[in-house]
């Protein structure tokens, strides 16, 4: 049988094509590969599924061994969040015209350019910044690149990084910045926010996250912006855009670069497969010059009333500082950008505000309920968005016990600390159920 994915494997076609070329066999095309490098046996791979039906059965069998977060009650977050994904998001990003396209010109792929332009434009409104990039891989990469941009912009090579950052992200930053940017870690204050910090004129930036790894909303953004600017440094803030219907965007308190992950805006958790990163700045030529990623903009066409699109400031390469600490560009996460645009268009300003208010309220409610259930809630006086940490006698034991209740109770930060995540998907009953189970297991 000719394989359904390979039309020209059909022997008659193959023979006809070989004859047209004047080749005896496909072996002729491999003449440049030395015999010693040729694999002289078939690859040792599992037998293939002979039909689509058998493949479906095989895959179902494998995947049935997963318990997903619609089956268990999950309070897992820590960088990947269970927000509701509107059906329209799935519908749009599932369309083959988007899903199977790549990077055509702004003519035959006009739709992609417009959709991406609209995504960055909606992010720009949310962030109150004029320039937003086409998505990079994820929030980790966005943070690393934003810090590199600040270093190039200032010509400096040291950065003060908030200590309230996840260990995994810190691992990425250490590797990515390793060879030429020194990381100084800022202490975490008792209240869960960044502690007292100082910088001097050797620092390129202060890097802050809000909400931070403990779900704490940083309240001293303006003070940190003033501190950074006073030393000729930039303030770089990583903020989850889902929070910005209610929380002030970083630009409002003086941040120079905003960055973060957009998984919350319409992407499924997908075992970590729904990530994409954003980076935003004000419309200042020198800052724009430091973006390693593409920027899409409106351009007129030969016909009045038509919007064309293209790359803004594409040739940013002649700026001397880009030659140092230069970054690569490649296929990243465009479809998630389009999806986030759909999400923001569906939500509108009111939806984003309501969602933010619901998450704030339910987070506080969960904190109160778990405190009442016997857990020690950390940083109780801070404003929390979506996550908070609790201290228990044994994080591992509690999580294992909660499993017995059909609950993934949170992410273990250390032996005694758990991070609990609450979104609009968690009803009051869900939270009460968690609290009851915690109370039962802690008592």
Partner 1 sequence: MSGHSGESFAELPVAPKPPLRRFHQARWDEPIIFEQSRPGRRGIAVPAAGVPAVELPESVRRAEPPKLPEMAQLHVLRHYVRLSQENLGVDQAIAVGQGTCTMKYSPKVNDRFVNDPKVAELHPLQPDDTVQGVLEVYWRLERMLAEISGMNRVSLQPASGSAAIYANIAMIRAYHASRGEGRQRDQVITTMFSHPSNAACAKTAGYEVITLMPDENGHPDIEALRAAVGPRTAALMITNPEDTGIFNPRIEEFVSLVHEAGGLACYDQANANGLLGITRAADAGFDLCHFNLHKTFSTPHACGGPAAGACGVSEALAPFLPGPTVEFDGSGYRLDNGRPQSVGKMRPFLGVTPNVVRAYAWVMALGAEGLREVAETAVLNNNYLMHKILRIPGASAHWDGGRVEQVRYSWQGLFEETGVHSEEIGVRAADFGVHYWTSHHPYLVPEPFTLEPTESYSQEDLDEYAAILAHVADEARRDPEHVRGAPYNQTVHKIDQTSLDDPKQWSPSWRAYTRKHLA
Partner 2 sequence: MTVDRPARPATPRPPAAPAASATSPAPPAASVPPGGGDLVVGLIVNPVAGIGGPAGLKGSDGPDVQREALARGASLRAGDRAAQAVRTLLARRPGTRIRTLAGPMGEHSARAAGADPELLRLLPGDPSSPRDTTAAVAAMKDVDLLLFAGGDGTARDVLDGSPSCPVLGVPAGVKVYSGCFALSPATAGAAAAEFGGETAEAEVVDLDEEAYRRGRVGPRLYGTLRVPAARTRLSGRKVGSSSAAPGSAEGIAREVVARMRPGARYVLGPGATTMAVGRRLGLATTLLGVDVVQDGELVAADVTERQLADLVDGRESHAVVSVIGGQGFVLGRGNQQISPAVLKKIMASGGLVVLATQQKLAGLGGRPLLADTGDPQADALVGGHVSVITGYRESAMYRIRSAIEEFSA
Range list of β-strands (E), 338-416: 376-377, 387-391, 407-408, 411-414
Nearer to partner 2, 332 or 344 (CB): 332
End-to-end CA distance of the chain: 65
Nearer to partner 1, 39 or 200 (CB): 39
Q: How far is the CB of 382 from partner 1 (least distance, A)?
A: 10
Residue pair 296/120 in contact (Cβ under 8 Å)? The answer is yes
Query: If we measure between CA atoms, which residue out of 428, 421, 395 comes closest to residue 69?
Result: 421
Q: Measured over all CA atoms, what is the biggest interatomic distance in the chain, rounded to whole angstroms?
A: 82
Nearer to partner 1, 68 or 201 (CB): 68
Helix or strand run (H / E) with residue 417:
strand 417-421
DSSP state, residue 228: H
Q: How far is the CB of 219 from partner 1 (least distance, A)?
A: 5
Residues whose CB falls within 8 Å of the CB of residue 413, separated by 6 or more in sequence, listed in order: 389, 395, 419
Partner in contact with 381, chosen from partner 2, partner 1, none, beta carbon below 5 to 8 Å by kind: none
- Hunting for tokens 């015209």 — which residue is that? 97
- Counting beta carbons within 10 angstroms of the beta carbon of residue 179, is it exposed (0 to 12), middle (13 to 18) or buried (19 or more)? exposed
Residue 121 CA to residue 125 CA, distance in Å, equals 6
Residue ranges that bind partner 2, judged by CB under 8 A: 102-103, 105, 134, 294, 311, 314-318, 320, 322-324, 326, 328-332, 334
Within 10 angstroms of residue 9's Cβ, the number of other Cβ atoms is: 12
Partner in contact with 15, chosen from partner 1, partner 2, none, beta carbon below 5 to 8 Å by kind: none
Nearer to partner 1, 8 or 201 (CB): 8
Q: How far is the CB of 323 from partner 1 (least distance, A)?
A: 8
Q: How far is the CB of 223 from partner 1 (least distance, A)?
A: 9
Q: How far is the CB of 134 from partner 2 (least distance, A)?
A: 8
Using alpha carbons only, how large is the chain's radius of gyration in Å?
25
Partner in contact with 288, chosen from partner 1, partner 2, none, beta carbon below 5 to 8 Å by kind: partner 1
Nearer to partner 2, 85 or 115 (CB): 115
Q: How far is the CB of 344 from partner 1 (least distance, A)?
A: 5
Partner in contact with 437, chosen from partner 1, partner 2, none, beta carbon below 5 to 8 Å by kind: none
Partner in contact with 260, chosen from partner 1, partner 2, none, beta carbon below 5 to 8 Å by kind: none
Partner in contact with 97, chosen from partner 2, partner 1, none, beta carbon below 5 to 8 Å by kind: partner 1
Partner in contact with 388, chosen from partner 1, partner 2, none, beta carbon below 5 to 8 Å by kind: none
Nearer to partner 1, 4 or 200 (CB): 4
Q: How far is the CB of 377 from partner 1 (least distance, A)?
A: 15
Nearer to partner 1, 203 or 249 (CB): 249
Nearer to partner 2, 214 or 309 (CB): 309
Nearer to partner 1, 62 or 320 (CB): 62
Q: How far is the CB of 258 from partner 1 (least distance, A)?
A: 13
Residue pair 375/443 in contact (Cβ under 8 Å)? The answer is no
**Long-range CB contact pairs, 310-319, < 8 A, 24+:** 310/106, 310/113, 312/288, 313/285, 313/288, 313/289, 316/288, 316/289, 316/290, 316/291, 319/289
Residue pair 263/80 in contact (Cβ under 8 Å)? The answer is yes
Partner in contact with 318, chosen from partner 1, partner 2, none, beta carbon below 5 to 8 Å by kind: partner 2
Q: How far is the CB of 221 from partner 2 (least distance, A)?
A: 33
Residues whose CB falls within 8 Å of the CB of residue 146, separated by 6 or more in sequence, listed in order: 207, 236, 238, 257, 258, 259, 279
Query: If we measure between CA atoms, which residue out of 137, 143, 145 comes closest to residue 212?
Result: 143
Partner in contact with 19, chosen from partner 2, partner 1, none, beta carbon below 5 to 8 Å by kind: none
Q: How far is the CB of 292 from partner 2 (least distance, A)?
A: 8
Residue 74 CA to residue 415 CA, distance in Å, equals 20
Nearer to partner 1, 200 or 315 (CB): 315
Partner in contact with 322, chosen from partner 1, partner 2, none, beta carbon below 5 to 8 Å by kind: partner 2
């Amino acid at each position: 049988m000719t394989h359904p994915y390979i039309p020209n494997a059909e022997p008659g076609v193959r023979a006809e094509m070989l004859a047209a070329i004047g080749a005896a066999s496909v072996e002729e095309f491999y003449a440049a590969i030395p015999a010693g490098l040729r694999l002289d046996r078939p690859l040792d791979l599992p037998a293939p599924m002979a039909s689509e039906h058998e493949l479906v059965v095989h895959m179902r069998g494998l995947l049935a061994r997963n318990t997903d977060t619609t089956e268990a009650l999950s309070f897992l977050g820590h960088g990947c969040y269970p927000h509701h994904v509107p059906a329209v998001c799935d519908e749009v990003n599932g369309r083959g015209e988007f899903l199977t396209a790549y990077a055509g010109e702004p003519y035959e792929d006009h739709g992609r350019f417009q959709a991406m332009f609209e995504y960055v434009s909606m992010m720009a409104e949310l962030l109150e910044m004029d320039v937003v990039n086409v998505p990079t891989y994820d929030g980790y990469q966005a943070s690393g690149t934003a810090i590199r941009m600040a270093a190039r912009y200032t010509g400096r090579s040291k950065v003060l990084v908030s200590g309230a950052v996840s260990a995994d992200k810190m691992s990425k930053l250490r590797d990515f910045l390793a060879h030429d940017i020194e990381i100084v870690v800022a202490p975490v204050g008792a209240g869960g926010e960044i502690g007292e910090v100082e910088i001097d004129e050797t620092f390129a930036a202060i890097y802050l996250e809000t909400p931070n790894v403990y779900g704490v909303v940083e309240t001293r953004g303006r003070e940190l912006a003033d501190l950074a600017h006073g030393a000729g440094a930039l303030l770089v803030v990583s903020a989850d855009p889902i929070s910005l219907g209610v929380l002030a965007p970083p630009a409002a308190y003086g941040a120079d670069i905003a960055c973060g992950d957009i998984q919350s805006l319409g992407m499924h958790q997908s075992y970590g497969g729904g990530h994409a990163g954003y980076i935003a700045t004000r419309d200042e030529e020198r800052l724009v010059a430091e973006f390693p990623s593409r920027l899409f903009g409106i351009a007129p066409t030969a016909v009045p009333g038509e919007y064309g699109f293209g790359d803004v400031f594409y040739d940013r390469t002649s700026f001397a500082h880009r030659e140092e600490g230069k970054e690569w560009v490649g296929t990243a996460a465009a479809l998630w950008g389009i999806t986030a645009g759909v999400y923001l268009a569906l939500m509108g300003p009111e939806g984003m505000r309501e969602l933010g208010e619901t998450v704030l309220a339910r987070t506080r409610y969960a904190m109160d309920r778990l405190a009442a259930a016997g857990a020690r809630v950390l940083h109780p006086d801070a404003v929390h968005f979506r996550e908070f940490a609790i201290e228990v006698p044994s994080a591992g034991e509690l999580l294992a016990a909660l499993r017995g209740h059909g609950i993934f109770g949170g992410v273990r930060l250390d032996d005694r600390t758990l991070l609990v995540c609450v979104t609009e998907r968690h009803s009051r009953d869900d939270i009460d159920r968690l609290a009851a189970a915690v109370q039962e297991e802690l008592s």
